[in-house]
Each structure stands twice: as structure tokens, then as C-alpha cells.
Amino acid sequence: MSLPASGALAGNHPKVRCILVVEDHFFLRYTLSEWLRHAGYNVVEASSADEAVTLLVSPFTIDLVITDIDMPGRMNGYDLVEHLKKISPTLPVIMVSGKLPQKQTSEMGISQFFLKPYDLDAVTTFIARLLQQNQNEGRP
């Protein structure tokens, strides 16, 4: 696995997009976040769904959320998605987990589910396509 060339996906999104990565395992969060930064995205990190909720009311403009399912705190990934869909129904959400989801992710409005360990290239490619599609459809 090698890091994508800096700005390799820059042609796929005209403005720098911001991705919120919500993952309680430091190494996984760090690895994914650095990979996405190398691909040209701004990344905001949260170690729990509770922390993510506080970041959503910050001055950051979040274009996409990647969240784990099982995390410590009051909320898990499912709870976070429910909260996100109430405040921003069109915000794209990718869910990741080491086990298969217990709920129908498509019915929750989740754009994609990736089973850990996931392929970083596949995740990055999916993100670029999803954000481009949303831009073409006039979504922020």
C-alpha cells in the first residue's frame, strides 16, 4: 500500500472538501485521516460520536462523514447517523466496522458500508465519486 500522490484526486473536486473521520481506534483514525489528507482533503478527527456532535456545531463545513459503528460514549455510529440525518439529511455518510452492520445501512441513508480491514484506495475512490456526484446534482 502506498500513499496517493499529493493532489492525485484534485481534478475530481474543484474545492478542497472536508471529511469528518469518527473512529475510536487511534491507529485506524490516524491512518485513514493521513491517507485522505494526502489525497487532498481537509480532515477533522473525532474519537467518539459524542465528540463528532460537538464538532458539527463548530465553524468547520463538513462535506462527508466516515464513522465506525462501535465506539465508547453515549452514542454509537448508528446514533450519530440518526443525529446527522436530522440536522443535514443530504450529508453523505460512510460507515465502517469490523463486523457486519446490525441495521440496514441503506435505509438509514448511509452512502456506503466498508468492512474492516478496508482498502484505502477503494474508500478514497468511492469518496471522490460520491462528492463529484453530489456536486453534479447541486448538493453542497
pLDDT tens for 127-139 read: 999 999 888 777 6
Fold of 14-133: Rossmann fold (3.40.50)
- Please check whether residue 36 is in contact with residue 19, taking contact to mean a CB–CB distance below 8 angstroms: yes
Q: In this predicted model, what pLDDT tens digit does every residue of 59-108 receive, in sequence order?
A: 778 999 999 999 999 999 999 999 999 999 999 999 999 988 877 777 88
Kindly state the percentage of the chain with pLDDT values over 70. Answer: 89
18-22 and 93-97: which strand pairing? unpaired
Residue 49 near residue 67 (C-beta atoms within 8 A): yes
Type and span of the H or E element at 106:
none
